[in-house]
Amino acid sequence: MNRVGIIGHGITPFSKDDQKIETVLLNSAKKLFKSNPEINRKDVDAVLVSTNNNSKYLSPVLSEMAGIQPNTSHTIESLCNSGTNSIVSAYSYIASGLADMVLVSGAERYDSPGQILEWDNSRGEYKHPIFWASIFAKSYKRKYGISDEQLAVVSVKNHKQAKKNPNALSNKTYSIEDVLNSKKLTDDLRLLDCSRPCTGSASIILGSEEKVNKLSEDPVWITGIGQKTISAGFVKNISFSSMESTKLAGQAALKMADKSIENIDVAEVHDAFSVCEPMALESLGFSKDGQGMHMLKELHETNNFKINPRGGLIGTGHPLGATGIAQTIEITQQLQSNAGNRQTKNPQAGLVHNMSAAATSSTVLILEK
């Protein structure tokens, strides 16, 4: 299999802007080409767009606006997990030899139709994601004896880290009390436990070994890929206090990269809601079951940005189609020691975890210098 790496990237601030999806998409692609002038647009073999937006033919539209005439062009959707699905597709195009360079651009508007899965009637009329997240939170807290106060650390930590991220939606710091006093949305979740929908875009360009070595001064390689789909409906989950698809995707990605979880120095995990962060850490093997909050508390108290350095979905905002790409850009920057004052200490290997719809499907990527 051909080696696949990252050549360049571009990202917009995450906001509540009311722009057309085509404009949002173009913004991060323009940034990418501006900060990577060595990339010849004629050499872009494929353009993959990641979004839940209902507008059609967005890849040829983006290509026309960006001055690209790719061979392959299409949109990829899998709810919150669209971005890393697109990166995996780009990887397969390059590894198969069908393409040498692939642009992956993700974008979403704050009013994305991907926020609710209409098909899933498993929680009756309670279709908004906060209801599955509440079931997760109640189940997780009960099983491991975690209090609301303990769980609030996730939000406090991620908002703190987001303050160091110039593209984050939030730039406020919050205390445990602020989280506990924020609007109670369900029995188990408050406003500050939730990531917020927003408008944003992120673009990344992947290449074959030859292209990466030619065009990147500081190559980062995708060495591990794991994906798993358990179901689409929430109640098909085996457990409400762990993420089965994440566990399987994580194991597959580590195996492909020939790494163990102890080798991972920095990670982006999918904290759509606060409870998802300790659950993901446990399912990925970063900590034992029920110990995720202990790990996160220690990281927070020692100001260690190892988990979700850019501020997670809670601090950065969650423009669905852009999220997986933004996570991958963050790990790339971390590995390149280019993450400003979010920088973790000399990481050699990083992990991206992206999931959809109560972790009914997950993608895990391993990136290395």
Give me the residues that bind a copy of itself (CB under 8 A), please.
Answer: 1-2, 22, 47, 52, 54-57, 59-61, 63-64, 69-79, 81-82, 85, 88-89, 91-98, 113-114, 117-119, 225-233, 236, 249, 252, 356-357, 360-361
Specify whether the CB–CB gap between 315 and 159 falls below 8 A: yes
Specify whether the CB–CB gap between 33 and 63 falls below 8 A: no
Give the residues across from 355 on adjacent strands. 362
Q: Residue 59 Cβ, how far from a copy of itself at the closest point, in Å?
A: 7
- The residue among 22 and 148 lying less far from a copy of itself, judged by its C-beta, is 22
Q: Residue 187 Cβ, how far from a copy of itself at the closest point, in Å?
A: 26
Q: d(Cα 161, Cα 168) in Å, to the nearest integer? A: 10
Q: d(Cα 280, Cα 312) in Å, to the nearest integer? A: 12
- The residue among 45 and 188 lying less far from a copy of itself, judged by its C-beta, is 45
Q: Residue 206 Cβ, how far from a copy of itself at the closest point, in Å?
A: 12
Query: 308 φ, ψ to 5°?
Result: 60, 55
* Closest to 324 (Cα-Cα) out of 132, 79, 46: 79
Instruction: Please calculate the CA angle 153-192-138 and round it to the nearest 5 degrees.
Output: 70
- The residue among 75 and 216 lying less far from a copy of itself, judged by its C-beta, is 75
Q: Residue 363 Cβ, how far from a copy of itself at the closest point, in Å?
A: 8
Which tokens belong to 158? Answer: 């991620």
DSSP string, 149-170: HHHHHHHHHHHHHHTT-TT-S-
Q: Residue 234 Cβ, how far from a copy of itself at the closest point, in Å?
A: 11
- The residue among 202 and 266 lying less far from a copy of itself, judged by its C-beta, is 202
Query: 12 φ, ψ to 5°?
Result: -105, 160
- The residue among 33 and 93 lying less far from a copy of itself, judged by its C-beta, is 93
Q: Please return the burial class of 125, using the count of CB atoms within 10 Å of its CB with bins 0-12, 13-18 and 19+.
A: exposed
- The residue among 148 and 209 lying less far from a copy of itself, judged by its C-beta, is 209
Q: Residue 29 Cβ, how far from a copy of itself at the closest point, in Å?
A: 14
DSSP state of 243: -
- The residue among 129 and 278 lying less far from a copy of itself, judged by its C-beta, is 129
Which tokens belong to 174? Answer: 């919050």
Biggest alpha carbon distance in the chain?
Answer: 57
CB atoms within 10 A of CB 244: 18
- The residue among 191 and 252 lying less far from a copy of itself, judged by its C-beta, is 252
Q: Residue 325 Cβ, how far from a copy of itself at the closest point, in Å?
A: 14
Q: Residue 157 Cβ, how far from a copy of itself at the closest point, in Å?
A: 30
